[in-house]
Amino acid sequence: MYSGVIEGNTRWCVIEEDGWRKGPWTSEEDKLLIEYVKLHGEGRWNSVASLAGLRRNGKSCRLRWVNYLRPDLKKGQITPQEESIILELHARWGNRWSTIARNLPGRTDNEIKNYWRTHFKKKAKKTADAADKTKKVSLRKQNQQQIKQQQQIQQQQQIQYNFDMKGILELLEENEYSVPSTSQETQEMVTMCPETTEQHGYFYSMLNGNCNVYADESSNEEILWDGLWNLDDVLGNSMQLMLQAKPTNVHNLVTPFC
DNA sequence: AAAAGAATCAACCGCGAGAAA
DNA sequence: CTTTCTCGCGGTTGATTCTTT
């Protein structure tokens, strides 16, 4: 790509295969470019090489003139007033540096772009990071709260479930009933239950295999199994009695409740 | 005093739009 | 109408300078 690196001392420069120079400009090159613009005006940058004797391509010449040699350029640091204008215009137009530069006489788009990158992007990132952090913390809190609430609900459902199951099993034991196999048997059991109509409904739906009133969505099976194991702990032999009442495998046991 | 890391800024690159041939 | 050229823009790079450890 490059034919060599020349120019000793402190400056470096590159000459490409096609003869164009690249890298930092020398004061001699600057002088030639200024002379060229004085004589021919701005524009036709590709003619600079032939007319001014510069071994720079048009693009490089234009950039050097626009960003560094133009006489109307303002030297020195960006003032606080300019800074606030940049902020305001960037908020309005985004990264349209040339548009912003037109509103800041003496400043170039490149200068503003660099200034933004070094001063504001950092601040913007900090602000964004801080906002992000706050958002994450609040999300985490929200999640924890949701999990806690869910756990509470599940716990309540579990207690209710165990309580209801206990009632059913006691009832079965008391009346030496087996798990009903027909809807008629179920109906008979429900009517025997000395509870309210609403509780009859629960009872009825449990016996008919509708356990959705106790568990929600994805965790149905998990809760159900947990419930069964807990039920076993709580009721001890009662579950055994139920199993004995109607010999069945585990799958048959689970099915009626979900 | 020296090394490492961060900040700065001049310059380059690729791309698209518009003008000229 | 199509192709080529020129210009301008925004993004990126990398050498230099400054600051911190």
For each of the domains in chain A, give its residue range(s) and CATH number, in order of start.
2-69 (1.10.10.60), 149-257 (no CATH)
Whether the Cβ atoms of residue A224 and residue A257 lie closer than 8 Å to each other = yes
Compute the mean pLDDT over every residue in chain A, rounded to the nearest whole number. 64
Task: Tell me the per-residue pLDDT of A226-249, one tens digit each, with 9 for 90 and over.
Answer: 333 333 333 333 333 333 333 333
User: HSE of A56 in the Cβ direction (CA atoms, 13 Å)?
Assistant: 24
Distance in angstroms, CA of A178 to C1' of C21?
Answer: 82
Is the backbone of residue A163 left (phi > 0), alpha (psi -120 to 50) or beta?
Answer: alpha
Q: Indicate the pLDDT class of residue A72, thresholds 50, 70 and 90.
A: confident
Confidence (pLDDT) at A133: 60
Asked if pLDDT for residue A12 goes beyond 80, the answer is: no
Q: Is A103 within 7 A of strand C by CB distance?
A: no
CB of A43 lies under 7 Å from some atom of strand C? yes
Q: Which residue has the tokens 């609900």?
A: A153
Nucleotides of C under 7 A from a protein CB: 5-12, 15-16
Of A32-46, A88-102, A132-146, A203-217, where does mean pLDDT reach its minimum? Answer: A203-217
Res. A156: pLDDT tops 70: yes
| Coil, strand or helix at A208 | coil
Per the structure, the residue whose CA is closest to nucleotide B8 at C1' is A118
pLDDT in tens, A106-154: 999 999 999 998 887 666 655 655 565 666 666 667 767 776 777 777 7
Q: Which of A28-37, A51-60, A202-211, A217-226 bottoms out in mean pLDDT, i.e. has the lowest?
A: A217-226
